[in-house]
């Protein structure tokens, strides 16, 4: 709040020498810009797009996992690309598949995953625990 007050004081000093009409025009422009910025925030901006993309990917994955096991096993060992609940491409190499999808769809959210489904990843700690008696 203090920051805003300082900014307002600076603006008041700067526009004091202008005519009343010019002051009103500047205030109107500032208000318009702040309203536009507020609307972008309310509509989500980049965060809203990200959330929408995440939701789309979740739906695509759910659709793929609902396909019969027989259908998914046709692509065993490969990676699949799903867009709008349609299998659009597949490849044994994720990097190659990704390049083709990005070339065709740009930044559009497209699910790319192993055909069998999400893989389990296990991480093991390499930290060594010493016994206090052995020191």
Strands 111-114 and 79-83: antiparallel
pLDDT given for residue 4 in this prediction: 77
Tell me the angle at which helices 2-15 and 20-42 cross, rounded to the nearest 10 degrees.
150
Model pLDDT, residue 17:
86
Cα(92)–Cα(75) distance, integer angstroms? 9
**Residue bearing the bigger pLDDT, 124 or 102:** 102
Chain segment 81-99, per-residue pLDDT in tens: 999 999 999 999 999 999 9
Mean pLDDT, all residues of the chain:
82
* CA 79/CA 113 separation, integer angstroms: 5
> Which sequence spans correspond to the domains of the chain?
2-42, 46-114
- Put simply, whether the predicted model's pTM sits higher than 0.95 gets the answer no
């Amino acid at each position: 709040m203090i920051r805003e007050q300082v900014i307002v004081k600076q603006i008041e000093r700067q526009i004091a020498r202008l005519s009343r009409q010019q002051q009103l025009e500047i205030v109107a422009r500032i208000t318009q810009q702040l309203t536009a910025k507020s609307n972008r925030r309310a509509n989500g901006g980049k965060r809203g797009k990200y959330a929408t993309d995440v939701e789309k990917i979740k739906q695509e994955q759910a659709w793929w996992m609902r396909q019969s096991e027989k259908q998914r096993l046709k692509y065993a060992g490969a990676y699949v690309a799903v867009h709008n609940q349609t299998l659009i491409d597949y490849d044994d190499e994720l990097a190659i598949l990704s390049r083709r999808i990005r070339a065709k769809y740009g930044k559009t959210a497209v699910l790319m995953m192993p055909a069998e489904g999400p893989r389990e990843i296990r991480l093991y700690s390499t930290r060594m625990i010493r016994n206090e008696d052995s020191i």
